[in-house]
């Protein structure tokens, strides 16, 4: 699995896909949580990443076993270097670049499994549940810490926030992850979604973006 690189014929090979849960305060509230809890993570299989075509022709099939597929727009951090026990003040050295991604979620399954205290991999790790745009290098994006993040469904804005509102910053996320796993080049980190998550239906068109990065557009089939 790999993703295109902005302005290049090179490809970014994917190793692992890490996701940060509840990393915007307002989204945490809409999920029933408050306060700055310690960061927590889940993984998606690498082959859940779906390359989103630049011409908007990408279609994601509505998944089985759910009646409540939901969108979550996220900034994706692509690592060009690895490491363990990385201090936050050195974490930026690992970053190759950034992309726009969607963490598609079978929300009804997730909610029920949470009630039962069971793992909710089935709610997050299904096929094509991580549509992602091309990777733009850090040299091209510059400082992205205050970029706007947004998502529209059928032309109507559903999510909008700013990366400055991340509860745990990108360096902090990388540092925490490196305590639990030895990070590798090719790792992708989905950094969390802002408030406004909601349902999707067959035929819906999504347009997601982060300031300074190519937007992605796809349709639910």
Look up the CATH number of the domain holding residue 27: 3.90.850.10
Average pLDDT over residues 137-161: 96
CA 2 to CA 134: how far, in whole Å?
Answer: 10
Range of the domain at 213: 2-220
Average pLDDT over residues 206-216: 97
Structure tokens at 196: 């406004």
Task: Report the pLDDT value the prediction gives residue 32, as an integer from 0 to 100.
Answer: 61
Structure tokens at 139: 């040299």
Percent helix, strand and coil across the chain, each rounded to 5? Answer: 20, 35, 40
Q: Which tens digits make up the pLDDT trace of 47-92? A: 999 999 999 999 999 999 999 999 999 999 999 999 999 999 999 9
Per-residue confidence band for 29, with pLDDT thresholds at 50, 70 and 90: low
Classified as helix, coil or strand, 70 is strand
Report pTM: 0.95
Per-residue confidence band for 38, with pLDDT thresholds at 50, 70 and 90: confident
Mean of pLDDT over the chain? 95
Task: Report the pLDDT value the prediction gives residue 104, as an integer from 0 to 100.
Answer: 98
Domain count, the chain: 1
Per-residue confidence band for 25, with pLDDT thresholds at 50, 70 and 90: confident
Distances (CA, A) of 57 to 155, 172, 219: 16, 36, 8
Average pLDDT over residues 153-168: 96
């Amino acid at each position: 699995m790999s993703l295109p690189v902005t302005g290049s014929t090179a490809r970014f090979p994917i190793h692992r896909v890490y996701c940060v849960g509840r990393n915007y305060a307002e989204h945490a509230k809409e999920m029933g949580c408050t306060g700055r809890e310690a960061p927590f993570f889940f993984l998606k299989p690498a082959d859940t990443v779906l390359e989103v075509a630049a011409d908007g022709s990408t279609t994601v099939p509505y998944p089985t076993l759910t009646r409540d597929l939901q969108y979550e727009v996220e900034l994706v951090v692509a690592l060009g270097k690895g490491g363990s026990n990385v201090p936050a003040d050195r974490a930026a050295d690992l970053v190759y670049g950034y992309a726009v991604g969607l963490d598609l979620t079978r929300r009804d399954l997730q909610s029920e499994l949470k009630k039962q205290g069971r793992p909710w991999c089935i709610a997050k790790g299904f096929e094509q549940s991580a549509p992602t745009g091309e990777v733009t290098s850090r040299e091209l994006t510059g400082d992205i810490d205050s970029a706007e993040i947004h998502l529209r469904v059928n032309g109507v804005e559903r999510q909008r926030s700013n990366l400055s509102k991340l509860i745990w910053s990108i360096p902090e996320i990388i540092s925490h992850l490196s305590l639990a796993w030895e990070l590798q080049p090719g790792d992708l980190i989905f950094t969390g979604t802002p408030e406004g998550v909601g349902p999707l239906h067959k035929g819906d068109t999504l347009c997601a973006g982060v300031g300074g990065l190519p937007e992605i557009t796809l349709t639910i089939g």
